[in-house]
Each structure stands twice: as C-alpha cells, then as structure tokens.
C-alpha cells in the first residue's frame, strides 16, 4: 500500500519538475529567499581532509575499507593545527576537520586538536568523522567543537540499509539528536540521484532536512566511483543534471534560515561553474579545500573531484575571485547558525 502524498510533497514534486520559464522562476525565488534570510555574504569554511582511513564500507564511497587501491594517510596533529592557523589570513573563518570513520586517529587526539585550534586561532571548528557515541561528542564539545556535519545520505531506510552495511538510518538520526542536545550546531544532508531512489525520495529528503531543523544542509550529486560496488550504477539524473540545481533551489525554499554550501560535487559534474551556479540558486557557503596537496589524490570519494593539483593558497585565491565575480562578498564573522546564535561555546 502506498502512503498518500501530502500537500507539501505534491508542492515539492511540482517544483522539482519545473522547466523553462517555471525553472527560471524557481531559481529567482530561491536566490531571493537566500538574500532575504542569509544576506549576500558567502561564508568560507576551509576543509582539511585529515585522514582517509575508514573502517566502514559504504557502497558508493571511494575511501571505503574494501577499496585496496587507496593509499591510506593520516595527518599528524601538529600538521593539522599548522594548516588551520593559516585559514584566517585567507578570509576563512571556520575549519572543517573531515575524515573517514576510523578509530585510528584517537578521540582524545582529535579533542586535543580541537582545543588547540580554539586556543590558537579565531576559527569556528566543525568536525565530520561519522557516527560516534554520545560521550565522545560530549568530550569534543567540551574541547570547543562548534559544529558537526553528518549526512543522513537518504531518507529511505531500506535504501540506506542496502548502501551502508555498518549502520542504520535510525542510528544516524540518533547521532544528530545527540549532537543537537549537546548544543552543537548540526549539519546534515543527502546525495542526489543515488541508484534506487526516486523523485519521491528526493522530496522526502528535502522534507527530512526541514523536519530535523538543521543549522547547515549539505547536498550534492552522487557520482559513481569505479573502485566501488556501485561503479557501474549511474546517477538517476544522469540525463537530467539540472535536477541537482532544482534540488538545491527547493531545499532553500523549505529551509530559508539554514546555511547551505555549494558542495564540491557540483563542480565535479559541472567543471568550473557548478558551485557558482549553486550559489546563485540558493547556496550561501563555500568550502575551499585546505588539505595539503600531497594527500588530495588519496581523498577521492568520487572521480573528477576538482582542485586536486592546487594548493590551499591557490584554492583560497580562486574562491575569492569567484565570489567577486558573483557580486557577493566573503562572510566577515564565523557564520554561526542563524537558528542557535549565542549557544556556541566560548
Ligand atoms: N566519514 C564522515 C561521514 O561519513 O560523515 C565524513 C566523510 S564522508 C566520505 C563525506 C561525504 O562524502 C558523505 O557524507 C557522502 O555524502 C559523500 N560521498 C561519498 N561518496 C560519494 C560519491 N560517490 N558521490 C558523491 N558523494 C559522495
Ligand atoms: Fe567511510 Fe562510509 S565508507 S564512512
């Protein structure tokens, strides 16, 4: 038995089918809602992919444990902190510490890195290292962690189960609840066009973001990686890639106050222009890659990832030019959540 569609689902499905003039109107509306609620600043969050070790086996992910072709690396704590120290001078007011899901880089060690960055810089600290027990999140929060990114990937529990041998959708949503209860600013999101999803899944993903009342929402096209079991499984919207932008525009309409990054995967699908277009269709955050250049090729979640040969300062200069060309300006402050302002640790 299929569940009847709600009025909101019907509205989203209608918007996701926009073409021609209706599509232009959708993009205009999304851009003006972004402008009204989030302003013209584009917040820069420098991302350091500090380790590609992962003990999980997500079926789509290039750094899954079963991909033996990956040269594994983990940056030293001193190296991470040294790279973070360089960000404020480049206009980047947040550091995002991202890695696979692995116990190798200890919870205590990461806590110490967070503490040092908070002590030695003005940066807001975002962490993105997957599902962890509540006491670990609490400890990182005490160390000064401001935000956490953990995508739910898909709102369809059965599809989630097929793609993730290591955890369930309920467990992931539980992690998001724990983080919220600790007063951490919470980011989540999903991939667009996973094999096995339908446009109804996409509508449900957008509604789940709204229902979770997220502070930040990262979404991006799914891109098949040849070293994974889904290597031959194309994106559902391969013949209609405009859907990636419709999704971001509708996401903005349903989440007017959330920070929405123009994620890197948009540039992989539309080289050189994807992230700029996303910023004109609802997004307000850019995450320049700050990973040392010698590790970038080893953190390939999907093929075609941009900027693998540029170093952090080249990426920083490039992003400032892109922002200027859009007639926008880099965010001056940390770009904390519009929803939980004042709740971040000192
Ligand atoms: N381990 C952390 C976690 O799981 O949240 C952070 C790293 S994880 C590799 C970062 C994100 O990359 C995932 O949430 C997923 O959405 C995205 N990703 C992985 N493989 C991808 C693919 N083939 N295409 C597009 N995005 C992908
Ligand atoms: Fe690393 Fe999924 S494969 S978190």
CA 60 to centroid of ligand 2, rounded, Å: 9
The ligand 1 atom at the shortest distance from the C-alpha of residue 225 is 23
Ligand nearest to the CA of 235: 1
Per-residue pLDDT of the chain (346 residues; tens, 9 = 90+): 567 789 999 999 999 999 999 999 999 999 999 999 999 999 999 999 999 999 999 999 999 999 999 999 999 999 999 999 999 999 999 999 999 998 778 999 999 999 999 999 999 999 999 999 999 999 999 999 999 999 999 999 999 999 999 999 999 999 999 999 999 999 999 999 999 999 999 999 999 999 999 999 999 999 999 999 999 999 999 999 999 999 999 999 999 999 999 999 999 999 999 999 999 999 999 999 999 999 999 999 999 999 898 888 899 999 999 999 999 999 999 999 998 644 443 3
CA 312 to centroid of ligand 2, rounded, Å: 25
Residue of 50, 53, 54 to mutate, ligand 2, most atoms within 8 A of C-beta: 54
Residue of 55, 63, 163 to mutate, ligand 2, most atoms within 8 A of C-beta: 63
* Among 216, 220, 221, 232, residue whose Cα is nearest residue 337: 216
Residue 223 is encoded by which pair of tokens?
């891109």
Q: Residues near 250 by Cβ (< 8 Å), separated by ≥ 6?
A: 12, 15, 16, 26, 30, 206
**Are residues 52 and 76 in contact, defined by beta-carbon separation less than 8 angstroms?**
no
DSSP for residue 278 = H
**Are residues 26 and 249 in contact, defined by beta-carbon separation less than 8 angstroms?**
yes
Distance of alpha carbon 215 from alpha carbon 183, whole angstroms: 11
3-state secondary structure of 241: coil
Q: Residues near 128 by Cβ (< 8 Å), separated by ≥ 6?
A: 96, 97, 98, 99, 148, 149, 150
Ligand nearest to the CA of 56: 2
**Cut 0.75: pTM above it:** yes
* Among 110, 208, 73, 103, residue whose Cα is nearest residue 166: 103
Q: Which domains does the chain have, with CATH numbers?
A: 8-48+145-329 (3.20.20.70)
Distance of alpha carbon 304 from alpha carbon 302, whole angstroms: 7
Ligand 1 pocket, residues with Cβ under 6 angstroms: 60-61, 98, 100-101, 128-130, 150-151, 153, 191, 220, 222-223, 225, 265, 301-302
Cα atoms in the Cβ-side hemisphere of radius 13 Å centred on 234: 7
Q: How many CB atoms lie within 10 A of CB 281?
A: 25
The ligand 1 atom at the shortest distance from the C-alpha of residue 218 is 16
3-state secondary structure of 4: coil
Distance of alpha carbon 310 from alpha carbon 127, whole angstroms: 23
H or E element at residue 296: helix 293-296
Ligand nearest to the CA of 301: 1
Q: ∠ CA(16), CA(18), CA(19), 5° rounding?
A: 140
100 lines ligand 2 (CB under 6 A): yes
**Are residues 144 and 183 in contact, defined by beta-carbon separation less than 8 angstroms?**
no
DSSP for residue 5 = P
pLDDT for res 340: 63
Residue 232 is encoded by which pair of tokens?
């031959």
H or E element at residue 169: helix 169-181
Please name the residue whose Cα sits nearest to atom 13 of ligand 1.
Answer: 151
Distance of alpha carbon 115 from alpha carbon 70, whole angstroms: 30
């Amino acid at each position: 038995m299929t569940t009847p569609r709600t009025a909101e689902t019907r509205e989203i499905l209608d918007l996701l089918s926009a073409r021609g003039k209706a599509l232009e109107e959708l993009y205009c509306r999304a851009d003006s809602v972004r402008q009204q609620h989030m302003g013209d600043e584009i917040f820069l969050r420098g991302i350091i992919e500090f380790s590609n070790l992962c003990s999980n086996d997500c079926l789509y992910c290039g750094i899954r444990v079963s991909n033996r072709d990956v040269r594994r690396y983990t940056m030293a704590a001193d190296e991470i902190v040294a790279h973070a120290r360089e960000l404020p001078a480049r206009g980047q007011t947040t550091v995002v510490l991202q890695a696979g899901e692995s116990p190798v880089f200890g919870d205590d060690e990461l806590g110490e890195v967070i503490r040092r960055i908070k002590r030695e810089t003005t940066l807001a600290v975002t962490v993105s290292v997957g599902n962890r027990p509540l006491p670990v999140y609490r400890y990182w929060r005490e160390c000064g962690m401001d935000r956490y990114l953990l995508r739910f990937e898909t709102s369809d529990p059965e599809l989630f189960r097929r793609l993730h041998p290591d955890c369930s959708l309920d467990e992931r949503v539980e992690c998001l609840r724990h983080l919220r209860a600790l007063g951490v600013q919470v980011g989540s999101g999903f991939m667009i066009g996973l094999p096995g999803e339908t446009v109804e899944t996409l509508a449900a993903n957008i509604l789940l973001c709204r229902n979770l009342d997220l502070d930040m929402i990262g979404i991006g096209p799914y891109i098949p990686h040849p070293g994974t079991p889904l290597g031959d499984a194309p994106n559902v919207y391969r013949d209609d890639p405009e859907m990636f932008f419709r999704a971001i525009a509708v996401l903005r309409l349903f989440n007017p106050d959330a920070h929405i990054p123009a994620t890197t995967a948009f540039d992989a699908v539309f080289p050189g222009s994807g992230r700029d277009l996303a910023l004109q269709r609802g997004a307000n955050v850019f995450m320049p890659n700050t990973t040392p250049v010698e590790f970038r090729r080893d953190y390939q979640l999907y093929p075609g990832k941009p900027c693998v040969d540029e170093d952090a300062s080249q990426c920083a200069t490039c992003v400032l030019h892109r922002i200027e060309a859009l007639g926008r300006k880099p965010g001056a402050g940390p770009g904390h959540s519009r929803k939980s302002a004042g709740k971040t640790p000192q």
